[in-house]
Amino acid sequence: MKRVGVLVSGRGSNLQALLDACTGDFPARVACVVSNIAGVYALERATLAGVPALVCSHRGKERSAYDAELRAILEANGVDIVCLAGFMRVLGPGFLAGWPVINVHPALLPAFPGLHGAGQALAYGVTQAGATVHLVDEGTDTGPILGQATVPVLDDDTEDSLAARILPFEHRLFVQALRQVAEGRVEVVGRRARIALRTGEERWMR
């Protein structure tokens, strides 16, 4: 059973999807939830689920020092896998080394990385938007992709309405990717991920 540390900065709907999934025969459990901002609703979600809810503020700290402090908290909680569920900080190589870090993003990467993926999609005028789950590397939303889902952009969409329709796909992809990583079915080859399917076949992600 893999132990998961979830990093959050906000309300935590993707965290809730992981908390709901990590039961029964699911191969992972949420060991702790850490926020860089005190008082966010994600911490309440963790507490309600009986999961340690911790705060590690980034304010006034150099990135490397903050990364080291955050890593020490996760290691103290026996974490094997890290999930970024709306965590609004860039993590450096010292933090990323030695364990898989999974992120979910509200856009079809490599298009529209960074903030406001749905808003960027609308501004660009695309007809399809969506969600991506990927492994985190040192870039901004540039790591190997584990899964994607598309959502049509409607004529009357706003950033909020499009983001709301993307969100359920984020939840599903996040849980799916965590299962694959926890079961040891993901291998990174170069810049791409190779996923062993339960049928015995393999799937290469770009």
Q: Which of 58, 105, 134, 171 is catalytic?
A: 105
Question: Positive or negative CA dihedral for 74, 95, 206, 115?
Answer: positive
E-strand spans in 24-182? 28-35, 53-55, 81-85, 101-105, 128-135, 145-152
Q: In one letter, which amino acid is 164? A: A
Give me the torsion for CA of 76, 133, 181, 15, rounded to 10°: 40
- For residues 42 and 18, is the Cβ–Cβ distance under 8 A? no
CA distance 36 to 7: 8
Six-digit token string for 128:
């399809």
E-strand spans in the chain? 2-8, 28-35, 53-55, 81-85, 101-105, 128-135, 145-152, 186-189, 192-196, 202-205
105 catalytically annotated: yes
Q: Which residues are known to be catalytic?
A: 105
